[in-house]
Structure 1
Amino acid sequence: MSTVEGSLEFEDRKLYTKTWKTDGPAKARVAFVHGYSDHCGRYGIFFPTLASNGIEVCAFDQAGWGRSVQKPSERGLTGPTSRVHADITAFLNTLIPSSVPLFLMGHSMGGGEILTYAAMGPADTRQHIRGYLAEAPLIGLDPASQPLKLVLTLGKLAAKLAPNFQRTDKLKADYISRDPENNQSIVDDPLCHDTGTLEGLAGMFERADLLESGKLRISEGRGQGGRTRMWVSHGTGDRVCSFDATKKFCDREKKDIEDFEFKVYDGWYHQLHFEPSPDRETFANDVIEWILKRTDDTTADEGVQPKL
């Protein structure tokens, strides 16, 4: 396994990218979208384990996060949903057409982003995606991390007046995982700055509301071969993103998606990929198994037109 660093360049900014390469020919490729106050370099054994099992991982630090931030004023400048989706599209377009099946995966905020992308992203890009994987997606906040409704309402209003105004909200480190060393490493990581902008935060919660309320539906026809293949995972002990909101979403969406799996991890916290061993290995193996079962999907190239 080896890694390759790079960048995704726009006229006004540059996003840091990193790829975990397989030793031999890849069987599949995962495009990964990280969560809030996170970056693609913080996934421990997860990406190397996928790569050692023939699954290449391609990830990037979202605008406003990680090594894509060049100065403090850029922290949290994720932008509205239109820009978030445009960044994901630009990243995916560097990978397609892919010689092996391409999957789109996201964690937490990134999980919510890939779910809304499955519903709203451009059809000519989605038709290359073999399947979607959401880890502890932000569909609703757990009550332990839920800000007051008044704060959310005022924040949405203020975002229109001062979209780039920065707000720092630190999550309780012991909510992240059941591994104290991992939680402390987040506190000590300067790239996990906990600083969002009003516009970015408003977009994040608007996406969550669309998913939780059912105003945005995914349904069939959102991926390669005119099919939707989806794997959603969540721990019942998550005190950051609401397990109940995710379950409600899954109960609704699985009625319209034939290849849909909701994987529940009893008692696990928010970062499933960083839970104590052997749980983190179990999670990685579950992801690997789901992906590899779909690399030889005979319906993938049937030519069914994807839905717009």
Structure 2
Amino acid sequence: MDTASTSTPDAFTEAWLPGPDGTSFYTRTYASAPCPARAAVVFVHGFSGHCARYEWMHGEYAARGVTVFTFDQRSFGRTALDAEERARTPGALYGRTSWREQLGDIEWWVRHVKDRYPGLPVFLMGHSMGGALALAFVTRKSAPPSADAVEMLAGVVASSPFILRTKPTAWHVRWAGWLLSFVMPNLVLHTPINPNNLSHDPVKNEANSKDPRILHKGSLRCLDDMLGGGENLLRYDHKQWPKAMPLLILHGSADRITSPKASRDFFDKVEAEDKEYKVFEGGYHEVMREPNGMKEEYAEASTGWMLERAQNSGSRPVGDGSKL
């Protein structure tokens, strides 16, 4: 845990909640404290990650007035690995998922948060693969998600979104992967990541490499959807962005995993009335773990952006914002 955190060990509540098709999801809620909640955000983690990795950041959000709801995605983290819950959800095998399932899950949790916090504007935020899913969520021509679920959002925040890799996959490998995803969609491949490319904090990078809940692998369908979905965002899905939907993109300029240039290109193509691109000079992929004040700048930029739009929406702070 980051020693600079303003959160406390009991700053969140955890729960196993039922999701779409009976899948049981591990979830965390960081209720705004000590100040009243002024906004809520649904946070989506990245590929092979899990929600507990963002404890410092989410504690900071809660301390600034933003209640956070987050979850281990289908086929990742405790949702996939917890033995007891897997017994209840036998299909939740690690790495075996698809964009359609993931977008349906996000819609489920957006509705859950909107119902639980009816007095608060709700934002959608994701990091890396989760960042691309957040961008995709509001650019679909057909469900999931449904149009009314998109209209529930007060804005979208994409952190180091997986639109393109910094070093693109060779075209023949992409073509072969695409073809095989139809033939053997559930074949799981190992996808190692150099932990030293995550941030400039060696302690955090080592913790990532030793985390038993991080398994660098995914099914062919999962990988093809992630790669192809990001490419399509840049190619034509950006045209579907609702003009009235606010957008914030955060990216480190030295990201070695996901392309800052692709993020900027997507940003420039989106015809949103309210959009902002925040670059962190020299930052790697996980800016929220960067030392020397960068992670604090990241927390301030993202919460400040959400709270400004929450204020403009006319919402009023009410306790923790939840139903009694």
Instruction: Return the letter of the residue paired with 1:118.
Output: V
Counterpart position of 1:188: 210
**In structure 1, what is the Cα distance between the partners aligned to 2:224 and 2:63?**
38
Is the CA contact (8 Å cut-off) linking 2:138 and 2:241 kept in structure 1?
no
Is the CA contact (8 Å cut-off) linking 1:8 and 1:91 kept in structure 2?
no
- Verify: 1:258 aligned to 2:273, yes or no: yes
Instruction: Return the letter of the residue paired with 2:188.
Output: Q
Q: CA deviation at 1:185?
A: 0.6
Within 5 Å, which residues of 2 pair with 1:126-275? 126-143=150-167, 146-221=168-243, 227-253=244-270, 256-275=271-290
Q: 1:298 to 1:40 in 2, by over 3 A?
A: closer
Counterpart position of 1:88: 106
Counterpart position of 2:13: 4
User: RMSD of the TM alignment (CA)?
Assistant: 1.8
**In structure 1, what is the Cα distance between the partners aligned to 2:253 and 2:133?**
21
| Residue segments in structure 2 that go unaligned for 5+ positions in a row | 1-6, 87-91, 316-324
Instruction: Return the letter of the residue paired with 1:114.
Output: A
**In structure 2, what is the Cα distance between the partners aligned to 1:115 and 1:51?**
23
Within 5 Å, which residues of 2 pair with 1:36-51? 36-51=47-62
Q: CA deviation at 1:16?
A: 1.0
Is the CA contact (8 Å cut-off) linking 2:126 and 2:157 kept in structure 1?
yes
Counterpart position of 1:286: 301
**In structure 2, what is the Cα distance between the partners aligned to 1:7 and 1:46?**
22
**In structure 1, what is the Cα distance between the partners aligned to 2:235 and 2:139?**
14
Q: 1:155 to 1:12 in 2, by over 3 A?
A: farther
Q: CA deviation at 1:3?
A: 0.9
**In structure 2, what is the Cα distance between the partners aligned to 1:150 and 1:173?**
26
Q: CA deviation at 1:174?
A: 0.8
Q: CA deviation at 1:149?
A: 2.2
Instruction: Return the letter of the residue paired with 2:224.
Output: A
Q: Deviations over 1:81-138 (max 9, x none)?
A: 2211101011111112431111100000000001010112321111111010000101
**In structure 1, what is the Cα distance between the partners aligned to 2:313 and 2:258?**
35
**In structure 2, what is the Cα distance between the partners aligned to 1:147 and 1:127?**
35
Q: CA deviation at 1:287?
A: 0.8
Q: 1:216 to 1:231 in 2, by over 3 A?
A: closer
Is the CA contact (8 Å cut-off) linking 1:44 and 1:274 kept in structure 2?
no
Q: CA deviation at 1:264?
A: 1.0
**In structure 2, what is the Cα distance between the partners aligned to 1:44 and 1:104?**
17
**In structure 2, what is the Cα distance between the partners aligned to 1:181 and 1:32?**
24
Q: CA deviation at 1:206?
A: 1.6
**In structure 1, what is the Cα distance between the partners aligned to 2:55 and 2:267?**
28
TM score, norm. by length of structure 2: 0.85
Q: 1:69 to 1:52 in 2, by over 3 A?
A: same
Counterpart position of 2:68: 57
**In structure 2, what is the Cα distance between the partners aligned to 1:75 and 1:277?**
35
Q: CA deviation at 1:216?
A: 4.1
**In structure 1, what is the Cα distance between the partners aligned to 2:173 and 2:72?**
28
Instruction: Return the letter of the residue paired with 2:17.
Output: L
**In structure 2, what is the Cα distance between the partners aligned to 1:298 and 1:182?**
37
TM score, norm. by length of structure 1: 0.89
Counterpart position of 1:106: 126
Q: Deviations over 1:123-177 (max 9, x none)?
A: 111111101000010111001xx33322221111111111111101111111111
Is the CA contact (8 Å cut-off) linking 1:37 and 1:65 kept in structure 2?
yes
Counterpart position of 1:34: 45
Is the CA contact (8 Å cut-off) linking 1:105 and 1:133 kept in structure 2?
yes
Q: CA deviation at 1:297?
A: 1.6
**In structure 2, what is the Cα distance between the partners aligned to 1:52 and 1:214?**
38
| Residue segments in structure 1 that go unaligned for 5+ positions in a row | 222-226, 301-308
Counterpart position of 1:78: 97
Q: CA deviation at 1:214?
A: 2.8
After alignment, is 30-39 or 115-124 more displaced? Answer: 115-124
Identity %: 30
**In structure 1, what is the Cα distance between the partners aligned to 2:284 and 2:32?**
29
**In structure 2, what is the Cα distance between the partners aligned to 1:204 and 1:103?**
22
